[in-house]
A and B are shown apart, each in its own frame.
Chain A
């Protein structure tokens, strides 16, 4: 609890005093800021609205007449996806490897981030940058070697293969974020705990982890996000059993042309998990995007 209130207070109190007058004046006439934000959000939402709009139309309506909203509302496209195993298994596969990846990334990143934030040791700075270079590595460079590596050890087309491959960019990111959050926890807490007779694992699990819980949440959010949105590696490493939804979507191009309605419905369904996750972390998003460095 203390970690939540402490940083919040530090940044929040000043805002209340300075921005309150501005907010009240906005109630009477729309300020320039509100107009800017409205336009920006409109720009962001229009393409998404269009996708939702198309997912609720039949193909005939999409190709036949141009309309800003569905005239004959239909949920057929969603029904197609929900009833066809080759479709909905795509979502299941994606969720499985994303969750696996998040768990693995956090498990290995937590101790490493602690070491980076608390101790200096031989080669620490170089090691930190080397980790970051992996975040910079273009997935295109790794696609083929990954394919060969995982094929040779019999992991091709399994969820764990994709989860491990995504660790390439998620682990460095998780270390980076967690290190930022851990730096904000005073070292005296560690020292007091050791004096009180806590062993390192006991201290880490019982005292330290709760203190940086928001950081862990943010790191998990980012691991989820980058694993969920990535396509190149997950497509290269799977064929049938672990095929992600993003790759399944290419199926809609059939002999009779593109099945736009189903494609749009599948797209809308891929947005849903992200939207749910965002809702839960909305209060930490801003700090999280700054990787805990604010």
Chain B
């Protein structure tokens, strides 16, 4: 749609601007403020320059957390996106079963995040949980509170359980927008199932899949509650992701300076990567002529 130039449109944006400025800019400035100051207590602060940033850039703790975080986000994207597409392709397109699948698939998305953690905490326990008990009965030594590998697997399976439906629902929305003529043309050409997917369905889903990847990346990168409830970041620091580490530092140890510097860098990393996704997404939007 061609838009008219109208500078007065700013007035319509004003409420959002004021609200978001209040709830984002002011707190963010507080963070910036802390990140360049040090304190000996008693609310006396003095200028520390970029020392905290320097400290954090040389801290193994942060790099390790960042490494774990990147690995986690990469793994769950690698599982959830193909699985979500696969599920979307198999969803019934019409009628009762379509609604049935939609409702039940959305259910995990609407469960409070700490309850998601609780569900899996119970589900994975060897003494009272179905999963833990079954694995134990099969003779697999499984203990997500002690064993690093088990903890990772449990956190990842939990996230796949929680969020794959989002990718699937987005993909499903994309599939539904494909006109019938495309399929008929493919039939006439005797295209294989793979060719239909590769040249018709995938390009048509590209736009919504970018949204899915963007949302999944952002949310997995700031995951806090679910692993915190499930493993508490353990065993050791094995599942301490960036947010968990940050909350430990800021609210647990009250190391405001380093925590603030950490926050800002964390935010910048997310913004940079999201910007790349966003640019790709808007380019795709334009190419589709919307």
Binding site for B on A (CB under 8 A): 11, 13-19, 23, 32-34, 36-37, 40-41, 43-48, 50-51, 54, 62-63, 66, 68, 104, 107-109, 111-112, 114-122, 124, 127, 129, 131-146, 148-149, 164-165, 167-168, 171-172, 175, 183, 187, 225, 228-232, 236, 245-246, 249, 260, 263-264, 267, 270-271, 273-275, 277-279, 282-283, 285-287, 289-291, 293-294
Contact = CB atoms under 8 A, between A and B. Distances in A.
Main secondary structure of the interface of A (DSSP, over half): helix
Given A44-B107, A145-B26, 10 more contacts: A15-B94, A15-B180, A66-B127, A137-B222, A138-B224, A138-B243, A164-B22, A271-B107, A286-B176, A294-B174
A257 to B, nearest CB: 12
A293 B285 contact: yes
Contacts of A183: 1, 290
Given A274-B110, A285-B106, A36 B12 contact: no
B246 A282 contact: no
B23 A37 contact: no
A147 B93 CA distance: 47
B133 interface: yes
A114 B86 CA distance: 36
B112 A137 contact: no
A231 B22 CA distance: 21
Contacts of A11: 176-177
Interface of B: 1, 3-10, 12-13, 15-17, 19-20, 22-24, 26-28, 30-31, 86-87, 89-95, 99, 101-115, 118-120, 122-123, 127-131, 133, 161, 165-166, 169-170, 172-174, 176-181, 183-184, 207-208, 211, 218, 221-222, 224-225, 242-244, 246-247, 250-251, 256, 259, 263-264, 266-267, 270-271, 274-275, 278, 285, 290
Contacts of B9: 115, 118-119, 121, 124
Contact of A136 (B6, B12, B274): B274
Given A139-B224, A287-B173, A108 B115 contact: no
A179 to B, nearest CB: 11
A280 B31 CA distance: 41
Contacts of B94: 15-16, 19, 23
B132 to A, nearest CB: 10
A267 B119 contact: yes
B267 A141 contact: yes
Given A14-B179, A50-B123, A118 B222 contact: no
Contact of A48 (B20, B30, B107, B178): B107
Given A48-B119, A260-B122, A290-B170, A277 B110 contact: yes
A132 B274 CA distance: 9
A232 B28 contact: no
B180 A14 contact: yes
A245 B101 CA distance: 28
Given A66-B133, A146-B27, A168-B24, A37 B224 contact: no
Contacts of A68: 130
B278 A132 contact: yes
